[in-house]
């Protein structure tokens, strides 16, 4: 009887453990299950080698005011992104989902203000440190803290051009030489173009040299926004978020680092009923452009040929690529999406 009792007890415990393991696995499966959204439109057969036909996006986080500036941090397996009106950077991980990462992220002055004052575009410098476009502070800055212990301490890297404050830096990239390139539309000013605090009469694209000198590259774009190099860093694409001029422009870069040969690379003019405009984008090592635009995500090649779109109901603002360039993260108004493009 005692042996039977002991054996029975062990059997019951084992069954309970198996049940617990099943429950844990079920919980993990539930956490890993995300709602799907988006419809892939194939315009050119070349799209099939970039995104598997029938692929949809997963909604991995939601509940934001306006999500922007996604940036994958491989060393911490986390996605960072801005919620611009809430002046907060969030992080997302597979294990814990969304969490507040850093606040305030874009405005640290004592005078209260409204509007889009938070951080917007995010990137890494060549030493792996976080660089932010701070709309409220009207500057490009670096977080002065390690990634695992974020605090709102910021080192200004550029905050004026010839003594005049920027409008509201929007998107930013860093070249292989360590120079910073950024766009400066008026969206972070409380009254936009009519804000009395606007000091620069144009919306520029700028370069910050490694010695801190700020160089104007162009003042001809009405609403410069996202920007990125084509492979080789000899040509830069700049998105223009203007409903009257919804274009991606291309500029060649000469030996002195100046823009030359400005031209329209691709036009998004047409159906104005679709939500969104040319905004943030990324370019992979093959020159494929993943760009937010009217109606969702536009995919085109380095020659400006449109290959396809992934259509969404809400406006998209920016994208990030995983290190292996097989996964795409998209900020989609109140949502953040993940697209597993291919195996």
Given this model, what pLDDT does residue 300 score? 98
The Cα–Cα gap between 228 and 134 comes to 19
CB 329 within 8 A of CB 72: yes
Is 265 a domain residue?
A: yes
Burial of 329 (0-12, 13-18, 19+ CB in 10 A): buried
Is 202 a domain residue?
A: yes
The Cα–Cα gap between 270 and 275 comes to 12
CB 219 within 8 A of CB 177: no
Is 28 a domain residue?
A: no
151: number of Cβ within 10 Å: 10
Question: What is the CATH classification number for the domain harbouring 73?
Answer: 2.120.10.30
Is 26 a domain residue?
A: no
Q: What is the dihedral of CA 339, 85, 271, 42, to 10 degrees?
A: 0
Given this model, what pLDDT does residue 271 score? 78
Listing DSSP states for 125-165 in one string gives -TTS-EEEEETTTTEEEEE-S-TTS--S-EEEEE-EETTEE
- The pTM of this model reads 0.91
Is 226 a domain residue?
A: yes
For residue 49, what are the contacts with CB-CB under 8 A and spacing of at least 6? 342
The Cα–Cα gap between 171 and 123 comes to 9
- Residue 336, domain extent: 36-340
Given this model, what pLDDT does residue 32 score? 66
The Cα–Cα gap between 150 and 167 comes to 26
- Nearest Cα to Cα of residue 114 among 82, 88, 136, 137: 136
The per-residue pLDDT string of the chain (343 residues; one tens digit each, 9 = 90 and over) reads: 333 333 344 333 344 444 444 444 444 444 568 999 999 999 999 999 999 999 999 999 999 999 999 999 999 999 999 999 999 999 999 999 999 999 999 999 999 999 999 999 999 999 999 999 999 999 999 999 999 999 999 999 999 999 999 999 999 999 999 999 999 999 999 999 999 999 999 999 999 999 999 999 999 999 999 999 999 999 999 999 999 999 999 999 999 999 999 999 999 998 788 999 999 999 999 999 999 999 999 999 999 999 999 999 999 999 999 999 999 999 999 999 999 999 9
How many domains is the chain built from?
Answer: 1
CB 43 within 8 A of CB 304: no
Is 117 a domain residue?
A: yes
Is 130 a domain residue?
A: yes
Is 318 a domain residue?
A: yes
Element (H, E) at 18: helix 2-32
């Amino acid at each position: 009887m005692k042996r039977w009792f002991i054996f029975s007890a062990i059997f019951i415990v084992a069954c309970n453990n198996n049940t617990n393991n099943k429950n844990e696995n079920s919980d993990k499966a539930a956490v890993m299950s995300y709602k799907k959204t988006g419809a892939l439109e194939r315009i050119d057969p070349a799209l099939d080698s970039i995104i598997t036909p029938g692929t949809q996006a997963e909604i991995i986080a939601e509940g934001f005011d306006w999500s922007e500036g996604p940036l994958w941090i491989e060393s911490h397996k986390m996605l960072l992104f801005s919620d611009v009106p809430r002046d907060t950077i969030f992080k997302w991980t597979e294990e814990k989902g969304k969490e507040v990462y850093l606040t305030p992220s874009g405005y640290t002055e004592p005078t209260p203000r409204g509007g889009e004052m938070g951080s917007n575009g995010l990137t890494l410098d060549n030493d792996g440190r976080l660089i932010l476009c701070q709309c409220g502070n009207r500057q490009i800055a670096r977080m002065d803290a390690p990634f695992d212990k974020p605090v709102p301490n910021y080192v200004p890297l550029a905050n004026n051009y010839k003594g005049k404050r920027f409008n509201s830096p929007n998107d930013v990239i860093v070249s292989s030489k360590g120079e910073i390139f950024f766009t400066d539309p008026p969206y972070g000013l409380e009254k936009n173009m009519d804000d009395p605090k606007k000091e620069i009469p144009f919306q520029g694209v700028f370069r910050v040299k490694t010695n801190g000198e700020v160089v104007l590259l162009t003042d001809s774009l009405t609403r410069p926004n996202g920007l990125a190099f084509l492979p080789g860093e000899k040509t830069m694409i700049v998105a223009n978020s203007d409903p009257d001029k919804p274009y991606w422009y291309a500029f060649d870069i000469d030996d002195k680092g100046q823009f030359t040969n400005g031209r329209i690379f691709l036009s998004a003019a047409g159906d104005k009923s679709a939500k969104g405009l040319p905004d943030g984008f990324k370019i992979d090592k093959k020159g494929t452009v993943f760009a937010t635009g009217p109606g969702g995500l536009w995919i085109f090649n380095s020659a400006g040929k449109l290959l396809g779109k992934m259509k969404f109901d809400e406006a998209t603002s920016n994208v990030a690529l995983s290190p292996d360039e097989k996964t795409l993260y998209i900020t989609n108004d109140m949502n953040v999406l993940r697209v597993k493009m291919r195996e």
